[in-house]
Amino acid sequence: MCWSAQADLVAGGVVAGIGVLCLARAHRSGQPRRLPLAALPLVLGVHQLIEALVWLGTDGQLPDALGGAARTTWAVIALPLLPVLVPAGVWCAADPAHRRAPAALTLLGLAVAAPLAVAVAAHPVRASAHGHTLAYGVGVPHAALLLAGYLLATVGSLLLSGDRLLRRLGLLTGIGALVCALLWHLAFLSTWCALAALASLALLHWSGSPRPQGTA
């Protein structure tokens, strides 16, 4: 999430471009198991481009139907998709000795994604501007518990990947999420797009690395 439609549009285009490069580098590296996680920046970039439409909808610059579709699509990516994509991508890329933890966290991601998907399907997604941020409402039950599972599945899978570069990405994501959440809570500025860009650059470096970066 960025602080305006224009910022989301620019940042989304940049992050999506990095995502295309990630996929190309993963393909050229001869390690197709990296492709699911290498696709994450492209997903994040498209997510930000969709949020540009959400901003326009909150400003009354889009028809209600298009604004509603943008909000729903945004929520589908943010809620049920990402807690599955991240640990599953880590599991696919991990070497056999380090696959157990990402596999378990992929199952946790699926358990988190199921009620989130039901909530998105059952309730209209709302979005309203507060300062330089967007506040979304979906009607998710047991939100605190699901958030804990969401973070464990995504950040935890990176930290337990057995890959030095992905562990660094997990630290970056965990610390960055805390900072972004604080700024968003204060309605001061939404900086999630900056975190997405940094994470995407880290994945660009990882996707072209010649071999897993272990502790040795």
pLDDT tens-digit readout, 182-212: 665 554 455 678 889 999 999 999 998 876 5
The 10s digit of each residue's pLDDT in 109-167 is 999 999 999 999 999 999 988 767 788 889 888 988 999 999 999 999 999 999 999 99
What is the Cα–Cα distance from 148 to 152, expressed in whole angstroms?
6
Residue 155 located in a structural domain: yes
What is the Cα–Cα distance from 213 to 32, expressed in whole angstroms?
16
The 10s digit of each residue's pLDDT in 75-115 is 999 999 999 999 999 999 999 999 999 999 999 999 999 99
Residue 213 located in a structural domain: no
Residue 215 located in a structural domain: no
In the beta sheet, which residues pair with residue 128? Answer: 135
Residue 52 located in a structural domain: yes
Residue 90 located in a structural domain: yes
Tally of domains in the chain: 1
Residue range(s) defining the domain that contains residue 97: 5-207
The tokens for 87 are 């640990």
Residue 216 located in a structural domain: no
Average pLDDT, the chain: 90
